[in-house]
Structure 1
Amino acid sequence: MGFFPVCLQLEKRRCVVVGGGEVAWRKVEGLLACGAAVKVISPQLQENLARYREAEEIDWLAREYREGDLAGAFLVIAATDDQEVQARVHAEAEQGNLLLNVADVPKWCNLILPAVVRRGEMTIAISTGGASPALAGKLRRQLEGSFGREYEILLRLLAALRPLVLARGGDHRENKRLFKALVAPDLAAWIREERWDLLKEHVHNTLGGDEVLACVNELQRGY
């Protein structure tokens, strides 16, 4: 059966990573990017994880995993090359009904970590359901070339304009029409090409009001 795609709010939630090598580092990096409270359980840490520890960005339990170490966790990642440890982590997570990803063992996962492209608040996730992480990685690299920093700027603009529209008190149907009309042209291309004149003209024609132009001007200054 397939996995249900979902985005999790991990800010300040306890996430436990069992393992201290390269795979664990990549998982921790993604968790920290989401503001998670990360605890790493491993006798040793590879150099990047050690830097996180020195910067007090992660908690480190400097020993092998023991049963009970997952208490209080929201999400667990088993990222060791020890099959016996992976199995014990899986057993405890199952008993506690925890979200679990076991590196390279899809049958023990109730959570698949997709390959991700992030541009500010925009997240594009690619998953093969654990069948081929290599293919997911290849597709991620292709998407990175197609979606540049202009999408981060575009989302900032749309996020700034949304409350201005809602504050006007229009009904749901009218607001939906305006938001749809707003993103109809290729706004990202205009930002990438620095055609701020076209962007301002379109935003003003669609929404009207000097306050919407002020949003575009502010983004232009910071681009």
Structure 2
Amino acid sequence: MSTDNSTYYPILLNLNGKSCVVVGGGRVAERKIAALLEAKAKVTVISPEVTPIISEWLAMGKLEGIMEGYDSQYSSDAYLVIAATDSTEVNECVYIDSAARGQLINRVDCPEQSNFIVPAVVRRGKLSIAVSTDGASPLLAVEIRQKLEQEYGEEYELYLDFLGELRLLVQDQVLEAQERKRILKTVLELDVLGSIRNGSFNKMRLFEKLLGVAK
């Protein structure tokens, strides 16, 4: 159980295919579900009523739905549980049940009754930047995230794809460890982002320049 003076350990979870339950069907639950779906989690929503967007996701088969009030049996096998109803009593029940089972539990209206909290996140493809105030001011975390979104634009997605591909090529073709490190450091000194922004980005030409062999 979290306390006011908790210090959180930053971590990125692989939820691909993991069973995750969101209790609640309102706007907050909708945002939580969207993030879980983006992480490729296997999501179940528990709520007698849901937003139109959640209803659309259900119709598309993106998640499963139990259109009833909360019952502990519905989340017994979940890896991660989020309590996001507008009822403090229900959210507390979800927390008590999940904590007793040793599950990852986030109660959106009470960080103190959570064993993890969700940071504000900027995503640009493979780049993830998380901002947290340890629950002290979620609104400030959102404000900082919005500033980061302006600084780290959509071009970073292509940039990270390029860097990842280059790293694999270097590992495959360059034998000396120091030379591999030199190449991967050199590319960060080039204005690749500028070329992406102005439309002159040429991946093959950069590979040739950095590796000395046309790809």
Match of 2:171 among 161, 166, 175: 166
2:60 corresponds to 1:55: yes
Match of 1:204 among 202, 205, 208: 208
2:207–2:213 CA contact under 8 A, matched in 1: no
| Residue in structure 1 matched with residue 88 of structure 2 by the alignment | 83
Quote how far apart the aligned CAs of 1:156 are.
Answer: 1.1
Post-superposition Cα deviations, 1:118-145, rounded to whole Å, max 9, x if no partner, equal: 1111111111111111111111111111
Q: Unaligned 5+ residue runs, structure 2?
A: 1-5
Post-superposition Cα deviations, 1:88-118, rounded to whole Å, max 9, x if no partner, equal: 1111111111111110211011111111111
The AA in structure 1 aligned to 2:116 is L
Match of 1:5 among 6, 10, 15: 10
2:166–2:207 CA contact under 8 A, matched in 1: no
Matched-pair identity in %: 38
| Residue in structure 1 matched with residue 3 of structure 2 by the alignment | none
Give, in whole Å, the separation in 1 of the partners of 2:115 and 2:162. Answer: 36
| Residue in structure 1 matched with residue 47 of structure 2 by the alignment | 42
1:43–1:63 CA contact under 8 A, matched in 2: yes
What TM-score results when the alignment is normalised by the length of structure 2? 0.91
2:120–2:132 CA contact under 8 A, matched in 1: yes
Q: CA RMSD in A?
A: 1.6
Query: How many residues are paired up?
Result: 210
Q: Unaligned 5+ residue runs, structure 1?
A: 212-223
Secondary structure of 2:73 counterpart: coil
Shift of the 146–208 alpha-carbon distance from structure 1 to 2, 3 Å rule, reads same
1:42–1:63 CA contact under 8 A, matched in 2: yes
Secondary structure of 1:209 counterpart: coil
Give, in whole Å, the separation in 1 of the partners of 2:170 and 2:209. Answer: 14
Give, in whole Å, the separation in 1 of the partners of 2:10 and 2:205. Answer: 37
What TM-score results when the alignment is normalised by the length of structure 1? 0.88
1:1-223 matches, within 5 Å, as 1-196=6-201, 203-211=207-215
Shift of the 209–2 alpha-carbon distance from structure 1 to 2, 3 Å rule, reads same
> Which one scores higher on RCO, CA 8 angstroms, separation ≥ 6?
2
